[in-house]
Structure formats: C-alpha cells, structure tokens
A and B are shown apart, each in its own frame.
Chain A
Amino acid sequence: DAGVIQSPRHEVTEMGQEVTLRCKPISGHDYLFWYRQTMMRGLELLIYFNNNVPIDDSGMPEDRFSAKMPNASFSTLKIQPSEPRDSAVYFCAIRRARNTGELFFGEGSRLTVL
C-alpha cells in the first residue's frame, strides 16, 4: 500500500520561530509533492520533487520557505521565520510515476502560528 507519514500532526508556534515539517514516504514513488491547504486559497502546490530533485518550486510563497529531499525516504518543509499567515494544513503527497495519476496524500500537518 502506498502511504505517507507526516509529522508533526499539529504544531503551534509563535511568530518568528522556525518550523520544520517532515514527510516520510512508506512506499515506492518517483514524485513527492508539498501542498498547503487554507480556507481562503484551497489546496496549493508549493513544490515537487522527481527522484529527490526539486523540479518546480514556483508555488513556494517566499524565501522564508524551503524544502529538501535528502533521500527517497524523507523530505522536509521548513519555514523560517514563521508568520501568522503561514497557518494552514500542509500535505505531503507521492506519485509512483508521471502518468499513473493518483496522488497519495498524508494526513497533513496542521500549523498554527500565533
């Protein structure tokens, strides 16, 4: 079964603090995506990787956001410094290959920045 484990599930932090969100795929994949979900803007693609290489980061809102994928089993999304408007649910998703279609989403990390 395809799957993604995200951590933490919930994080509350204060403005200015660094936030690191983690994603661990537990099945084979070629692509890994980071999405952000808010009531106002819905599901937005932030960045995606193909075979651990960042391909398109045009959705990353600002330089405060960065993402890495050091190996096929792990990816991080970092926000430094965090701001209240970064409050959202962040999803990691994987796809096995370009044309198979389905994205397998994790359960998300709910971030609240006070």
Chain B
Amino acid sequence: DIQMTQSPSSLSASVRDRVTVTCQASQDISNYLNWYQQKPGKAPKLLISDASNLETGVPSRFSGSGSGTDFTFTISSLQPEDFATYYCQQYDNLPFTFGPGTKVDIK
C-alpha cells in the first residue's frame, strides 16, 4: 500500500496568514493526488484534484503543487472559514489512501 504522510499534523495561524501543508507519498504517484477540506461534524469536500487543479467554486486562495512523491497545499491568505482539517489522498494505486490530516486552527 502507498503510505501518505503530512506535515505538520497541526498548526495555529491568524487570519490573512499564508499557510503551507506538505504531503509525501511512499512511492511515485505522478500527479494522482487530491486535497480535501473537512470541517467539524461535516463530510470532507474536494478542493484540489490532480495535485494542482482547483475544483469549480473553490476560492483561488487555495492552491496545490508537486508531482512524484512530494506535494504542497497552500492557502495564500487564511480566512475565518478556512479553519478545518486538510487531507491529501492518492489515487495512483488501490487501495486509495489518505494522509493523516493537518488541523488548521486559530492562533
């Protein structure tokens, strides 16, 4: 199975801060990587597909980059509604696997 790691596991930030989360795959997954946002008590929501493709309706302050084994997720200017947990997920191989998540909370 492909193992996904994320760092940091949590971070505290202020509104308008730039936030960066990294995700690493245990083997080359090309760009077969998605990013999800999950707010407390809610289902996850797909934000970014194919490592860097912003889903329709997702604000442009969210972005993703990377390929192979190393990926980055960035929020350019953190907004109050962005406090949530973010997960990366690979779809290069079955079983599909997720990173452990990065919780972004208020400083």
Is chain B a partner of chain A in the same complex?
Answer: no
Q: What residues of chain B have their CB less than 8 Å away from a CB belonging to chain A?
A: none
Q: What residues of chain A have their CB less than 8 Å away from a CB belonging to chain B?
A: none
